[in-house]
């Protein structure tokens, strides 16, 4: 028969046993973290792709090199379509504007670059921003947090 104790080992079986007060504190912290995660606004980082062949080719080119062109007009010209046609296709196929979609591509790429521990200035330059502060402003507008917090590992 096992004796009941007021201490508990962590789930992984390693580390010291937690006493009653420490166990209660850990449970409260866990409940708080779970509550905060449930309340947190999602930050979409996925990049939707269209089914239209013309638009898909343009989208794949943007994903391959998002800093090549900053404006829809340049991307449309590069793929041989009018800016109006491309804008219409973005709305009908993806339900968003080109600018919003491209911003998602940039954020997803920024996360990838940050995971490789690149400095913020390098990430900004890689994504075609004139300065780290311009990149920082885009991230802050998009996700409501500075890059140092959003891209923190």
Overall average pLDDT of the 126-135 stretch: 91
Does 40 score more than 80 pLDDT?
Answer: no
pLDDT tens for each residue of 51-75: 988 899 999 999 998 888 888 999 9
For 116, how many CA atoms within 13 A lie in the half-sphere containing its CB?
8
C-alpha dist (Å) from residue 120 to 14, 26, 65, 78, 127: 37, 35, 18, 29, 11
Per-residue confidence (pLDDT) for residue 97, from 0 to 100 = 94
C-alpha dist (Å) from residue 92 to 40, 50, 116, 141: 30, 9, 35, 25
Instruction: Give yes or no for a contact between 109 and 66, defined as CB atoms under 8 angstroms apart.
Output: yes
């Amino acid at each position: 028969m096992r004796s009941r104790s007021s201490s508990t080992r962590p789930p992984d079986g390693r580390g010291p046993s937690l006493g009653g007060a420490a166990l209660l504190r850990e449970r409260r912290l866990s409940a708080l973290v779970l509550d905060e995660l449930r309340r947190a606004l999602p930050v979409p980082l996925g990049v939707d792709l269209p089914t239209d062949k013309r638009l898909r080719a343009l989208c794949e080119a943007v994903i391959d090199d998002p800093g090549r062109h900053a404006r829809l007009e340049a991307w449309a010209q590069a793929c041989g379509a009018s800016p109006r046609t491309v804008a219409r296709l973005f709305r009908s196929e993806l339900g968003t504007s080109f600018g919003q979609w491209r911003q998602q591509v940039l954020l997803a790429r920024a996360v990838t670059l940050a995971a490789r521990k690149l400095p913020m200035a390098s990430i900004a330059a890689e994504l075609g921003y004139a300065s780290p502060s311009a990149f920082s402003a885009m991230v802050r507008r998009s996700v409501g947090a500075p890059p140092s917090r959003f891209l923190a590992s």
